[in-house]
Structure 1
Amino acid sequence: MDNNFVPPKGGGAGRTQVSRKHLVTYPKSLRTRFTIQTGGAIVSLVVAFALITLFAVSIHLYDAAVSDASSVYSGISEAHGTTLQVLLHEYTRKVDPHVWILKDHRVLFRSPNTTPYPFGPLTNAIVPHPLSSRLVHQREGLQYVVDWPLRPDIDLLGDLVLVMGITGVAAAAGGVLLGRWTTHRVLEPVKRMTHSVERMLATNQFLPVENPSRTDDEFSRLAGLLSQLVQTLESRWQRDRTLLADAAHQLRTPLEVIRGNLDILRDWDTIDRAMEEETIAAIDRAVSEMITLVGDLLTLEHVRNDGPVELAPYSMRPLLEDAVEDARALNPDLHITLHAVHTHRILGHEPFVRRALWAVLENAVKYSPPGGAIDIDIIPQGPFLGITIQDHGPGIPPEDIPHIFTRFFRGTNGHGKPGTGLGLSIAEALMKSQRGSITVHSTAHGAAFTLWFLRAPNSSPGSAEEPF
């Protein structure tokens, strides 16, 4: 592209100027915009009210003037002689009606406050006064002309306009102040929440969102939800940091094993066949341990991030039988007894149910002594159905129970045992995703883990005991 390109002087520049000419800049502050809109709305309402009021009052005053002129005409048209003169001589002020009685364009009678002739000087026709409402009637050969002065009404309208103008200005000023105060009160929580977010961005920390509102309004709920969101993000961030640190710590050992054995394999010509096979086997065990660890971590994070799953009714009998078969294959010397209820059904997600059962059962197999026994019981309890897996191993020390579901936690009796330390953490996460839970009870004669599932409808009692 040519960097020295200059647009033509014709259309291009002209269009640019037109677009800039019609560019409208709005205030950036929401408070200023709300204040302008509130003041404009109040001024518009006051002006509209004033115009409607003036129009209505003007019509009323004009109708009243016409009605009063008709009343004057009715009075003088019925009077004669001395009575008529007395009536006419009562109208002496400018604000009184102006009355003429004519015959053949000659004035016979008139009120003292009138001019000699009510006619135009050039047209010889009746010309109404510009500030009056004129009434002209013919009766019995006489022409009655009544001018009702409108000057008092116009003065009244002028006073009304002045009062409404002052009121409108005061209302506009009060509206602007009220709008600014109202928008300040309304937007103050947003302003403080914005400052909280800016402070978090500046410090790169998750901090509580300030909620200045003491009422249960929309902004208060927004601040509460934003605080919950920040707390959730903080907990996830801390969890991710802990996960990264724990994963790095757990992966360090197999990686060091792999590196050490690779150093041995570098001296290919100096090691014998037995040493070579032992080294490769150690590398294979380390890689398998890493694969298991990464798989467990992915499973744990997948369950925790996806949240609750869709539940369906399942019979517990086949699920428990499959888990017992796998446990028996893992340690054929164990005596596993299943106390099962054939008709009991649960609400769960089948892959998660199998994985949770196996995680707890595998843990029981791991801590059972050679030739020991494991008992599996079903405990109906209200809307829940508990699956208790009881081993007869060394049990769990009381100080370890609060941490038993923590990732990578290995209790006092867990040193030297195989595994990644994630099995019970995965089981707890799987149960929570199915709206269930897991509890533990331990004595000196073994530990019992109970998986609590939601009970499916139409699950009837009835028990059977069968050894495996």
Structure 2
Amino acid sequence: MKLPRLAALRPPRPVTIRARILAGVLVLLAAGLVGNSIASALTLRAYLDHRAESALRDAGDRMHETFAHEPRTVRSSQIAALVAPVLGITVIGPDGEVAEQAGDGVPDAINGLTADRLDQVVTFKDHPSVPDLIVRRIPTSGLTVITPAGEVRASAVILTVRTDIDRVTVADFISRQAGSVAITLVVASVTALLILEFGLRPLKRMADAADAIASGAREERLPTYGRHSETDRLAVAVNDAFDVQTRAEDHIRSFAADASHELRTPLSTISGWLDLYHQGGLTAPADLDRALERVDGEVGRMRLLVEELSLLARLDAGRPLESDQVDLRRLATDVVQDARVVAPDRPVRLHAPVLVHVTGDAPRLQQILNNLIGNAIQHTPDGTTVDVCLEEADGAAVVRVTDDGPGIAPRDLSRVFDRFWRAEASRSRARGGSGLGLPIVRAVVHAHHGTVEITSPPGGGTTVTVVLPVSSPRTRPPGPDSTP
């Protein structure tokens, strides 16, 4: 069995934003400084080489120009003065041997290395016999050089410039640059830390606020400074997310409390009848039948509530609905006829002069009409007229359910679509209700990409308007155009 490596078992170390920014800045700064130092060293080396070669050429040209005229006898000190920029002068006698050296001398081996390179600028680097230098051998036949040892008939003069000294200069420059880079990086690190400490202070405060929220301070929010900076935009976005989460949690708590309350009432009724039965209070057959009827009614109420909650959960989850061609006028006709049977004392009228087709889920659309008409019948006094109007306007199907009842108080209009909410003060609850009818209407309408609106003028009456997109004329099924 192969054991995992120890490094793989160690938890990863947290890397802060401050450390990442600091590391990035230092890497970029170090790369820039090192690159600049290398370029500067190369430029310095090229400049020194070019300067030495130019000095050598200029000195050789002056010697050619001077030796072309009389006198042809010169002292070695005169040659040294003539070629002052050049560091070394070697006089070669008629026998090809070194006769005199002035200035910074070089090994005698340079004589043999330049014997066949007359009047050429030659560069030697890393040669085993001589140091790094630039050489020019100038032929001087007929020239007499007076040296401390006597007169010498010079056959050539070798001018040399030592470049190994330039290498030392470049190496010293590089070492100084390295020290400068190190000091700059240290100073930059300290400065960057101070800047980051100040610049990231809003993020630290945001993190502290987020920790407080995570610890249970639900009213805490991330601080903003009104500067329209990136941190302010982030704080606003996160605060909005916290607000949405808080509202969602409040809705869930309220929903759970309301659902448990709605279920508690029928359960209490069922439990009460069962306790009465166990205590022997239901001995007569008529009493027992009445108890079973009540229990069955409460079970049906619970079943309806569970089905409505399940429907809302599916709609909230965004599950797709059926997508068929639906004759909205036929659905409205069926629902109105059912309402007339259920409430024969209510005038329920349908106004649908034209066919209107929509694409959607027929059972859910029928449930919209059932809930709207049922609410109008359930929450208005006896004899209240309910009008159902269906029309097509501006490429949309418009359904209006209007009653001439007492209406809804203005303060309650903003809550009519809240789940489990009932306007008890403005509408009768003679036939009860779960408080989920209008929330289901809104959820189904939104699932069909439509809108729903409810209005109730001060004089009385309520109108619920549902707008749904109509089907394309090409997809509408053929059918008779008849008005019920």
Same fold (TM over 0.5): yes
2:444 is equivalent to residue 430 of structure 1: yes
Give yes or no for contact 1:439–1:450 (8 Å, CA) kept in 2: yes
Alignment of 1:9-408 (within 5 A): 19=6, 28-80=15-67, 81-82=70-71, 85=74, 88-91=79-82, 96-102=86-92, 103-107=94-98, 112-113=102-103, 115=105, 119=108, 130=131, 132-136=133-137, 142-150=155-163, 153=166, 157=170, 160-161=173-174, 164-181=177-194, 183-184=196-197, 187-203=200-216, 205=218, 207-211=220-224, 214-215=227-228, 217=230, 219-268=231-280, 271-306=283-318, 314-346=326-358, 350-367=362-379, 370=382, 373-378=385-390, 382=394, 384-406=396-418, 407-408=420-421
- Structure 2 vs 1, CA of residues 186 and 331 (structure 1 numbering), >3 Å: closer, same or farther? farther
**By how many angstroms is 1:414 displaced?**
2.1
Separation in structure 2 between the aligned mates of residue 249 and residue 201 of structure 1, nearest angstrom:
30
**By how many angstroms is 1:162 displaced?**
5.8
Residue 150 of structure 2: aligned partner: none
**By how many angstroms is 1:273 displaced?**
0.7
Give yes or no for contact 2:30–2:181 (8 Å, CA) kept in 1: yes
**By how many angstroms is 1:72 displaced?**
2.0
Separation in structure 1 between the aligned mates of residue 74 and residue 340 of structure 2, nearest angstrom:
134
- Structure 2 vs 1, CA of residues 270 and 159 (structure 1 numbering), >3 Å: closer, same or farther? closer
Give yes or no for contact 2:91–2:99 (8 Å, CA) kept in 1: yes
**By how many angstroms is 1:286 displaced?**
1.2
Q: Which runs of 5+ in 2 are unaligned?
A: 115-127, 142-153
- Higher mean alpha-carbon deviation, 293-302 vs 340-349, is at 340-349
- Structure 2 vs 1, CA of residues 341 and 60 (structure 1 numbering), >3 Å: closer, same or farther? farther
Separation in structure 2 between the aligned mates of residue 416 and residue 185 of structure 1, nearest angstrom:
67
Separation in structure 2 between the aligned mates of residue 147 and residue 21 of structure 1, nearest angstrom:
64
Separation in structure 1 between the aligned mates of residue 412 and residue 404 of structure 2, nearest angstrom:
18
**By how many angstroms is 1:239 displaced?**
0.9
CA offset digits 1:284-324 (Å, max 9, x no partner): 11111122222223333443453997988755323323432
Separation in structure 2 between the aligned mates of residue 114 and residue 252 of structure 1, nearest angstrom:
112
Q: Which runs of 5+ in 1 are unaligned?
A: 1-10
2:439 is equivalent to residue 452 of structure 1: no
Separation in structure 1 between the aligned mates of residue 319 and residue 221 of structure 2, nearest angstrom:
24
**By how many angstroms is 1:147 displaced?**
0.9
2:193 is aligned with what amino acid?
R
- Higher mean alpha-carbon deviation, 33-42 vs 146-155, is at 146-155
**By how many angstroms is 1:267 displaced?**
4.2
**By how many angstroms is 1:354 displaced?**
2.9
Residue 5 of structure 1: aligned partner: none
- Structure 2 vs 1, CA of residues 312 and 206 (structure 1 numbering), >3 Å: closer, same or farther? farther
Give yes or no for contact 1:338–1:466 (8 Å, CA) kept in 2: no
SS at 1:205 equivalent: coil
Q: TM-score, normalised by structure 2?
A: 0.76
- Structure 2 vs 1, CA of residues 25 and 332 (structure 1 numbering), >3 Å: closer, same or farther? closer
SS at 2:297 equivalent: helix
SS at 2:433 equivalent: coil
1:254 is aligned with what amino acid?
P
**By how many angstroms is 1:182 displaced?**
5.4
- Higher mean alpha-carbon deviation, 153-162 vs 123-132, is at 123-132
CA offset digits 1:68-126 (Å, max 9, x no partner): 31332233234324478486242586x6442233132345676x5355x85159x9878
SS at 1:68 equivalent: helix
Separation in structure 1 between the aligned mates of residue 73 and residue 391 of structure 2, nearest angstrom:
116
Give yes or no for contact 1:36–1:176 (8 Å, CA) kept in 2: no
Separation in structure 2 between the aligned mates of residue 190 and residue 62 of structure 1, nearest angstrom:
55
2:184 is aligned with what amino acid?
A
- Structure 2 vs 1, CA of residues 144 and 363 (structure 1 numbering), >3 Å: closer, same or farther? same
Q: TM-score, normalised by structure 1?
A: 0.78
**By how many angstroms is 1:443 displaced?**
5.8
Give the aligned length: 446
Give yes or no for contact 1:438–1:451 (8 Å, CA) kept in 2: yes
Give yes or no for contact 1:76–1:84 (8 Å, CA) kept in 2: no
Give yes or no for contact 2:378–2:429 (8 Å, CA) kept in 1: no
Report the identity percentage: 19
- Structure 2 vs 1, CA of residues 85 and 107 (structure 1 numbering), >3 Å: closer, same or farther? farther
- Structure 2 vs 1, CA of residues 268 and 409 (structure 1 numbering), >3 Å: closer, same or farther? same
Separation in structure 1 between the aligned mates of residue 72 and residue 357 of structure 2, nearest angstrom:
114
**By how many angstroms is 1:280 displaced?**
0.6
2:136 is aligned with what amino acid?
L
Separation in structure 2 between the aligned mates of residue 452 and residue 22 of structure 1, nearest angstrom:
60
**By how many angstroms is 1:23 displaced?**
7.9
- Structure 2 vs 1, CA of residues 54 and 398 (structure 1 numbering), >3 Å: closer, same or farther? closer
Give yes or no for contact 2:380–2:428 (8 Å, CA) kept in 1: no
Give yes or no for contact 1:317–1:340 (8 Å, CA) kept in 2: yes
Separation in structure 1 between the aligned mates of residue 58 and residue 11 of structure 2, nearest angstrom:
60
Cα RMSD (Å): 4.1
- Higher mean alpha-carbon deviation, 48-57 vs 261-270, is at 261-270
